[in-house]
Amino acid sequence: MAKPRQLGALSITPTQPYVRPRVKQDKPAYGVISTGFYDNNDKFWNPGEALYFAGEPNLNLIPLNKMAYDRIQTFLDKLDELAEKKCKKDGVAFVPQARTEWSETDVESDFPTPEYVMGMQKKEVNEAVR
């Protein structure tokens, strides 16, 4: 008996549900959101991708493990300190950065991505081969 063939985009096998990748806990892991992220080696990471990054994070990264969450909190503390000094100097009210509590169950598996990246209309979402 002949095996069924896959016909292009049509498939007789059902699609598999999205499974969040397993993240190592010994390195800070982040998901890229917003307009993307350039790492220390000038490599551009597209929104929706995930990476291990030991450098200082920014607001285009969301933490995927506790170590990354702690580094994001340190970065936000730094931003709050600088903003508070600036607000005191200018005589305006200081508003700290919004923060959330860490929860293993609330780690996002689907990162929000923008409609446009660097002025180009987004046609498709890039995914890493797993």
Mean pLDDT by groups of 10 residues along the chain of 130 residues: 59 63 84 88 88 92 92 96 95 92 71 53 50
**What pLDDT is stored for residue 116 in this prediction?**
52
Residue 123 maps to a domain: no
Residue 5 maps to a domain: no
**What pLDDT is stored for residue 95 in this prediction?**
93
**What pLDDT is stored for residue 129 in this prediction?**
44
**What pLDDT is stored for residue 3 in this prediction?**
63
How many folded domains does the chain comprise? Answer: 1
At 14 the three-state DSSP class reads: coil
Domain extent at residue 89: 29-99
Residue 3 maps to a domain: no
Alpha-carbon gap, residue 18 to 94, rounded angstroms: 41
Residue 95 maps to a domain: yes
**What pLDDT is stored for residue 73 in this prediction?**
96
**What pLDDT is stored for residue 40 in this prediction?**
86
The answer to whether residues 37 and 45 touch, using CB atoms and an 8 Å cutoff, is yes
**What pLDDT is stored for residue 34 in this prediction?**
86
Residue 114 maps to a domain: no
Which of 101, 100, 83 lies closest to 92, judged by CA? 83
**What pLDDT is stored for residue 74 in this prediction?**
96
**What pLDDT is stored for residue 90 in this prediction?**
95
Per DSSP (E only), the strands in 1-130 are: 29-32, 37-38, 44-45, 50-52, 61-63, 116-117, 120-121
